[in-house]
Structure 1
Amino acid sequence: MPKFVVLYNAPQSAEATMENNDPAAAAEGMKLWMDWAGRTGAHLSDMGAPLGNGQEITPAGASAANAAVGGYSLLEADSVEQAVALMDGHPHLMMPGASIHVFEALAIPGM
């Protein structure tokens, strides 16, 4: 079954979002994520995690990443259409300015 990488984008870093959440809001947010995870069932191969302290590596060296990616999940689905459908009602989209990218992990020939 094809694998998909889900990237959660937001205008605010995951660290800042978690710092600014009060405990009740954080618990409610986690419940919404767990409800989504339950709806995806066996298609969710890795719930993932928030991402922080990103670094961009270039031939010149490393520096702080200037990316809006705040987290990831891993899915298995029959098609990209099914993977996108699994994102329906995802709680991440409740955040103003948030978006989700879904990428198919392509097989490398000979590996």
Structure 2
Amino acid sequence: MKNFLAVFTGNAQATEKSGWNALSESARNERSQAGVKAWHAWMESHKKQIVVAGGPIGKTKRVSGDGTTSAQNDICGYVVVTAESHEAAAKLFENHPHFSILPGEAVQVMECLPVPGA
């Protein structure tokens, strides 16, 4: 089994495309509650594959040789799962509530490789 980092992405374009902004406040609240409930159900149904539960991501700081600055990216959450293959890991996220109910854009799934020389 291999570990895979799944990064949840979202942006203003995805939110607009989902129709989220056109919903009334009460409809958004209902959909948010349904999305959170479905997300928890997804976590429960995949608990054997979840290595690190992860969670939402806050504001970003970019650290480089030039110092530290505030930054922005499309990452809004993460989870680490285990699977036999990259394809099997990706399949876990098909129709995920992040984008099927909530206004998220996508889930990017990448293998966690060993540190060279370790």
Q: TM-score, normalised by structure 2?
A: 0.76
> Between Structure 1 and Structure 2, how many residues are aligned?
103
Q: Map of 1:49-68 to 2, 5 A cutoff?
A: 49-68=55-74
Match of 2:5?
5
Return 5+ residue gaps in structure 1 as ranges: 13-19
Return 5+ residue gaps in structure 2 as ranges: 13-24
CA–CA distance in 1 between the matches of 2:93 and 2:46? Answer: 8
Q: Map of 1:24-43 to 2, 5 A cutoff?
A: 24-43=30-49
CA–CA distance in 1 between the matches of 2:79 and 2:11? Answer: 18
Q: TM-score, normalised by structure 1?
A: 0.81
Of stretches 69-78 and 38-47 in structure 1, the one that deviates more from structure 2 is: 38-47
Larger radius of gyration: 2
Q: Map of 1:1-111 to 2, 5 A cutoff?
A: 1-12=1-12, 22=29, 24-94=30-100, 95-96=102-103, 98-111=105-118
CA–CA distance in 2 between the matches of 1:109 and 1:87? Answer: 29
Of stretches 72-81 and 40-49 in structure 1, the one that deviates more from structure 2 is: 40-49
RMSD value over aligned CA atoms?
A: 1.9
